[in-house]
């Protein structure tokens, strides 16, 4: 479990909500202080009003005072609860944002080898941090404060019996903690068995077709029953531990109450104590033992929080993809150069390509050819700074890519992938997505690309509604929309990944015609399996599989 010092890492987050936190702490203190006089007033009510003076007005006065204290304490508890719940969710959301931001900034070399479920788990772990400010913790803090004030008042009433209570408290904590530990161990075993059974159920449901084909029903049911029996055993054990814990605490409370009653009874018989004082004392004692019981479970609640904070900061402290990159690319990309570049996804895997050398300059139209598995997409990922080469140098404008901040590089490179995603809205909305342009700019570009007739054939032209992803337009139309969007962005480098694949002949012809006629002044890179109609490119790179 994470060390307690990990909780101090939450201090900077608390600082942002300093005022709410201070009001919350103040409300908790007020709530504790307000309950201190109530047992004492109860003792006075018994001794002086009910047993001695029997004055009904005094009784109503004391009861009224206690009622006011209870109501104000109730209001303070509500206030502290609301404030800490707000702080809790604010800190959790801020942590989630930081973790998500960090995940998006991590290098692809880490992300590609890490299970997505693991990263999702790290984001989800932020929820457990909120337990540090949960109503349960606030109740525990209140309980401890109540116990502290109760002990002070108890010594003021009778120091002899107070000393007995102070001696009994460590015994109570030790015995309660021992029982609680057994309960936690059995709960852990039960949860593990439950997870194993859930996995067995998932496997059965996932492979139900194969189970039927192979006639494996009885085998699968036998495995299921075995796991279910194991869960049954651990569940019974856990419930026995819970009963044992509950009864132990109850027995200790009863025994210690009898001990205090015995000592109080002797003092009452000697005239050194009163029934009212005993009543007050027993109420304070209840607060002390309740606090002791809370302390035994505090460790159970806060230790997972410590672990979560530790694990979250392990992620936050990782180096991101811009670590060590100090150059911001603030001018147009004029040249790109690969010098004897090689790449492999892992050290134990063969090279995707090796000794790759070429250079592009502004105005080049580059056709990147190659069969599946030759590294076309990998090369583009290297260009985008998603991965670093195993060896060799990639440079932009003569600047080593390893020193250029990834964000500033990607802002100057546009990519149209094979799988085009469109957002809910009109065709125009999708073209303008992320662009600082207007309708007339889009219409002028469509005219330049020779696509006006094509767009006008859509039901409402640029105002055609797209419901969800590409619903409302064909696959070819979606590809054209993405193509226009990329051209509108006017990036220094434009990469089209298989722009003519999986589209009809008309769309293919339109895209090739636009690429041929458009006077794009940046570096155009088109990935393709085929060369038909691609004779207008001034550079061709043909990738082959590395032996």
* Structural domain contains residue 114: yes
pTM of the predicted structure, to 2 decimals? 0.69
pLDDT band at 2 (very low <50, low <70, confident <90, very high): very low
Residue with the larger pLDDT of the pair 518 and 399: 399
| Domain end call among 260, 285, 320 | 320
Beta-ladder partners of 527: 368, 497
With pLDDT > 70 as the criterion, what percentage of the chain qualifies?
93
71 band by pLDDT with thresholds 50, 70 and 90: very high
Contact 401, 385 (CB under 8 A): yes
Is there a single domain that holds both residue 375 and residue 428?
yes
For the domain that residue 371 is a member of, what is the CATH number?
A: 3.40.50.300
Q: Which of 269, 285, 320 is the last residue of a domain?
A: 320
Which of 266-280, 379-393, 484-498 holds the top average pLDDT?
379-393
Asked if residue 414 and residue 306 are part of one domain, the reply reads no
Residue 455 lies in a domain: yes
Residue 192 has pLDDT above 50, yes or no: yes
pLDDT score recorded for residue 68: 94
Is the model's pLDDT at 124 over the cut of 90? Answer: no
Structure-block tokens of residue 375:
């590294």
| Band of pLDDT at residue 1, cut at 50, 70 and 90 | very low
Range of the structural domain that residue 27 is part of: 1-131+302-320
Whole-angstrom CA distances from 435 to 344, 446, 491 are 36, 15, 11
User: Does residue 316 sit in the same domain as residue 350?
Assistant: no
In this structure, the number of other CB atoms found within 10 A of the CB of residue 325 comes to: 19
Q: For the residues 98-119, what does the mean pLDDT come to?
A: 81
Query: For the domain that residue 105 is a member of, what is the CATH number?
Result: 1.20.1560.10
Contact 1, 307 (CB under 8 A): yes
* Domain count along the chain: 2
Say yes or no to pLDDT of 406 above 80.
Answer: yes
Mean pLDDT for all residues in the chain: 82
Same-domain status, 7 and 65: yes
What's 130's DSSP letter? G
Average confidence (pLDDT) over 276-303: 78
Are 92 and 115 in a shared domain? yes
């Amino acid at each position: 479990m994470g060390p307690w010092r990990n909780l101090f890492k939450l201090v900077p987050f608390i600082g942002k909500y300093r005022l709410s936190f201070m009001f919350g702490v103040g409300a908790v203190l007020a709530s504790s202080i307000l309950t201190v006089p109530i047992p004492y007033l109860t003792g006075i009510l018994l001794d002086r009003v009910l047993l001695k003076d029997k004055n009904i007005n005094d009784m109503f006065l004391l009861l009224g005072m206690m009622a006011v204290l209870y109501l104000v304490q109730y209001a303070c508890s509500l206030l502290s609860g609301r404030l800490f719940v707000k702080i809790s969710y604010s800190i959790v959301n801020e942590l989630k944002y930081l973790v998500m931001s960090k995940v998006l900034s991590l290098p692809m070399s880490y992300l590609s080898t890490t299970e997505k479920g693991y990263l999702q788990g790290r984001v989800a772990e932020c929820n457990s941090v909120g337990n540090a400010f949960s109503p349960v913790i606030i109740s525990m803090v209140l309980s401890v404060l109540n116990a502290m004030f109760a002990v002070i008042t108890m010594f003021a009433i009778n120091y002899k019996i107070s000393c007995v209570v102070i001696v009994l408290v460590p015994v109570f904590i030790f015995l309660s903690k021992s029982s609680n530990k057994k309960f936690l161990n059995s709960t852990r075993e039960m949860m593990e068995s439950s997870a194993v059974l859930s996995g067995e159920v998932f496997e059965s449901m996932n492979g139900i077709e194969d189970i039927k084909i192979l006639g494996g029903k009885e085998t699968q049911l036998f495995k299921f029953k075995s796991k279910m029996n194991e869960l049954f055993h651990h569940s019974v054990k856990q419930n026995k531990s819970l009963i044992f814990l509950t009864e132990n605490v109850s027995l200790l409370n009863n025994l210690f109450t009898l001990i205090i009653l015995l000592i109080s009874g002797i003092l009452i018989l000697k005239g050194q104590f009163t029934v009212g004082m005993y009543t007050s004392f027993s109420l304070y004692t209840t607060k002390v033992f309740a606090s002791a019981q809370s302390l035994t479970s505090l460790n159970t609640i806060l230790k997972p929080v410590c672990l979560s904070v530790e694990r979250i900061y392990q992620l936050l402290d990782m180096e991101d993809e811009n670590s060590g990159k100090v150059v911001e690319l603030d001018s147009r990309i004029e040249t790109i150069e690969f010098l004897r570049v090689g790449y492999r996804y892992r050290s134990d895997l063969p090279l995707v390509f090796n000794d790759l050398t070429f250079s592009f300059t502004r105005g080049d139209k580059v056709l990147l050819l190659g069969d599946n598995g030759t590294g076309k997409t990998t090369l583009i990922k290297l260009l985008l700074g998603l991965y670093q080469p195993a060896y060799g140098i990639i440079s932009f404008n003569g600047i080593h890519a390893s020193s250029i901040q990834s964000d500033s590089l990607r802002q100057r490179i546009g990519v149209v992938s094979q799988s085009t995603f469109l957002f809910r809205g009109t065709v125009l909305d999708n073209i303008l997505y992320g662009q600082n342009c207007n309708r007339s700019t889009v219409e002028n570009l469509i005219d330049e690309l020779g696509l006006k007739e094509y767009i006008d054939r859509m039901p409402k032209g640029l105002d055609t509604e797209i419901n969800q992803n590409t619903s409302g337009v064909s696959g070819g139309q979606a590809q054209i929309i993405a193509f226009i969007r990329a051209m509108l962005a006017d990036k220094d480098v434009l990469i089209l990944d298989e722009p003519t694949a999986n589209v009809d002949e008309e769309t293919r012809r339109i895209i090739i015609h636009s690429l041929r006629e458009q006077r794009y002044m940046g570096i155009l890179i088109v990935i393709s399996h085929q060369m038909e109609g691609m004779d207008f490119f001034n550079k061709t790179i043909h990738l082959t599989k590395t032996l």
